Chain A
């Protein structure tokens, strides 16, 4: 699969994250189920995560994607704050 193309699922998840995390400095969504839309890996860096425990940061992402998650088998979340 070409690195420059993005699946519809990746684009949709990225869009939702952009809306829900307006202060995010970096968002990367990768379909790790071979394009099936069943499992995603999400990297998101945002000032909104500062001073929050990792599990709280992940909860924020879970809440933001609650609709999309319903049709996923699994997801991996990596959150960070800008240096």
Chain B
């Protein structure tokens, strides 16, 4: 099981490294800048606190990523998608920040977190892909999903293994 994630991770990380070769001027607008380029969206733009608040509460599992679950455009975003898939979580809200620069900055302001992807469970910011991977490896993710009323597919996989 973890081998699949590692394989997806290596592919994704390689893709991310490929992206890193962009000129620095473009890279500066990449996932990790902490200070806002423009003002935090005030009065209801797609990046405003109110708008982001609405999005994170839309669904028990909300992910802000680069690309889409069907086609992630970043290795770290891909890792998040793959981990959720391993747990059988396919029904969640995913927002592609590459499609909306205001949201891209707004979500970073909201969580005070400089990078994408960002995972929200029950409206609460949980972390990025490193944290989700850690939660997956130490069993915390199964527990958090259970709290949301979501039964991880890995529980059923374990039961099958026990039967052998």
Contacts and interface: CB of A to CB of B under 8 A. Distances in A.
Interface in B4-31: 16-17, 19-22, 24, 27-28, 30-31
B33 A74 contact: no
Interface of B: 16-17, 19-22, 24, 27-28, 30-35, 76, 112-115, 125-128, 130-131, 134-135
Interface stretch (A4-12, A18-26, A63-71): A63-71
Given A38-B20, A55-B126, A73 B32 contact: yes
B30 A74 contact: yes
A72 interface: yes
A16 interface: no
B13 to A, nearest CB: 9
Interface residues of A, number: 22
A78 B20 contact: no
B57 to A, nearest CB: 18
Contacts of B127: 54-55, 58
Contacts of A72: 32-33
A33 interface: yes
A75 B28 contact: no
A77 interface: yes
Contacts of B17: 32-34, 39
Given A33-B17, A70-B28, 8 more contacts: A38-B27, A58-B127, A59-B112, A66-B114, A69-B114, A70-B32, A72-B32, A75-B32
A70 B105 CA distance: 13
A80 to B, nearest CB: 11
A76 interface: yes
